[in-house]
Structure 1
Amino acid sequence: MNIAFFLVPKAEIICLSPENSMRQALERMEYHRYTAVPLVSGDGVYVGTITEGDLLWKLKNTPGLDFENCHRVLLEDVPRRLNNQPVNIQSNMESLISLAAAQNFVPVIDDQNVFIGMIRRREIIEYCRELMLKKTDAAAAGSGN
């Protein structure tokens, strides 16, 4: 199975730039109800993922920082706790599944590390569920039940 089958293209994804402010990130994440968003540089390269937790810890650990002035802090200055590893579009299902076990979504890049989309864990789980059901049905048919 080609992992491109699961790809949600970049055009359908909310992304942020490291040059966006914390306030922009908080407002977009709230509006879209996301807990994590890919960070993509101006030239399209995947740089990482920013999470609600990253923003919360920055607010907590920066004296004088609050929602009213967080527009002054760029996302590139917010430490990220997790490192969502991307997968190359040419990768196999095994690579994808091992990353998806630890990430809600897997960023997908091309050979130049340009972000081209993501694959959500939900779709991978659904695919595996369908495979299991097919095996169960085949086994039942083979045993005459």
Structure 2
Amino acid sequence: MNIAFFLLPKSEVITTTLQATLRQTLERMEYHRYTAVPILSDDGHYVGTITEGDLLWFLKNSEGLSFQNTHRHTLAEVPLRMNNKPVHIHADMEDLIDLAKIQNFVPIVDDADKFIGIVRRSEIIEYCAKQMMFRSPSTATAGEV
């Protein structure tokens, strides 16, 4: 089993850039019903992940900032509270699972460190659940039943 088995390709992932405004980001997250999205650089590298919490805290702690003027501020101004780390496409499954334990999704990068997609924690859990359902007691090793 390798990471590519779980990969949701970049073409199917909602992303944003540091040049996106807060309003654009909020509206995009609301439309797609996501609580976090990857941020990419202009050349396709993974920069970080913006969360609803990041946006909320920035709105709360920025003097004079209201929803009405969020179109005047870019994501480059928003501090990211979480450091969602990416995994290389050829990394071990253990590396992916270690990050999936603490991140809702894991960004995946290629040999050139370009963002190529994500692996959702829910996909890993669903796969493991299916494997457990299909495993019968007769195939279990001694001590597992």
Residues 1-145 of structure 1 correspond to what in structure 2 (within 5 A)?
1-137=1-137, 138-139=139-140
**Percent sequence identity over matched residues?**
60
User: What whole-Å deviation, never above 9, does each CA across 1:73-126 have from its counterpart, x for those lacking one?
Assistant: 110110000011000000111110000000000000012221000000011011
1:37-88 residue CA offsets vs partner (Å, 9 max, x unmatched): 0001110000000000000000000011011101111101100000110000
User: Any unmatched runs of 5+ in structure 1?
Assistant: none
Which amino acid in 2 is paired with 1:24? Q
Unaligned ranges ≥5, structure 2: none
1:131 deviates by: 3.1
Aligned residues: 143
Instruction: Say if 1:82 and 1:125 are closer, same or farther in 2 by CA, change over 3 A.
Output: same
Residue aligned with 1:68, SS: helix
Distance 2:92 2:129 in 1: 18
1:54 and 1:80 map into 2 onto residues whose CA distance is: 6
TM-score (norm 1): 0.92
Alignment partners' CA distance in 1, 2:136 and 2:3: 24
CA distance in 1, matches of 2:136, 2:18: 47
TM-score (norm 2): 0.92
| Counterparts of 1:131 and 1:32, CA distance in 2 | 30
Residue 129 of structure 1 and its aligned partner are, at CA, apart by: 1.9
What is the root-mean-square deviation in Å for CA atoms of aligned residues? Answer: 1.9
AA at the equivalent of 1:74: T
SS in 2 for 1:69: helix
Residues 7-64 of structure 1 show CA distances to partners (whole Å, capped at 9, x for unaligned) of: 0000001100011011100000001100000001110000000000000000000011
Distance 1:105 1:2 in 2: 16
